[in-house]
Amino acid sequence: MRIAVITTDGGAGKTAIAFAIAKELGLYLLSNDDSVIEAVYPDMARITKELHIIDDVVYDFGGFISAGVIDIIKVCDIVIVPCINDLNSKMKAIKTIDELKKYNDNFLVIATRTEDKRDLREVKEDLQKKFADIKVLPLRKTKMLKIGLEYGMSPFEVVQESKQLAYAARNFLPEYKEILKAVLGDEMYVELLKEKGVGDA
């Protein structure tokens, strides 16, 4: 499986999402953008300007689109574009998809840092005006991804660490699971939950 996480908008949660998915699924994580991934995901993460096509990988692309990036986008199973309910972020998400849609037609937009239903609705409305077939899923404003990235843990690992963290993530987890289901498909998603010992509630 090859997954790309890309946006030209800094601060939309790109690296935290890329790390969470890579760690959850036991995939390699490659990036052309400076971050802490090599420190928190040793042996599985690498930062390099020369990205290559490999299997079982999440690509965390920095805010630029080069020929090498396009070659990888062409062979990815899904392209994830994080987006905040902010005019600039939505504009950059639309531009990113517009540039890449000719190379891949399987996109998922994650409306990050949502605080209420209005945030999701507005991201959906603005993105789907341009791309009617794009799926948009919410990921509420939370510290769960930040905690995971800081401690080198996936969200499922974070919530299994303590009951307090599990309680804090009670609203985040259903949204996160929907993202995993969209990325993996139903069959692989069910297998993942069994492997991780996580219910689908």
- How does pLDDT run across 59-115, given as a tens digit for each residue? 999 866 777 899 999 999 999 999 999 999 999 999 999 999 999 999 999 999 999
Domains, in order of start, for the chain: 2-196 (3.40.50.300)
- How does pLDDT run across 134-170, given as a tens digit for each residue? 999 999 988 889 889 999 999 999 888 878 877 878 8
Does residue 190 come out as left (phi exceeding 0), alpha (psi in the -120 to 50 range) or beta? alpha
Q: What does the alpha-carbon distance between residue 30 and residue 41 come to, in Å, rounded to a whole number?
A: 11
The DSSP line for 112-155 is EEE-SHHHHHHHHHHHHHH-TT-EEEEEES-SHHHHHHHHT--H
Q: Are the beta carbons of 78 and 3 closer than 8 angstroms?
A: yes
Structure-token match 């036991």, residue found: 26
Q: Return the closest-CA partner of residue 83 out of 64, 107, 48, 57.
A: 107
Its pTM stands at 0.94
Q: Are the beta carbons of 28 and 22 closer than 8 angstroms?
A: yes
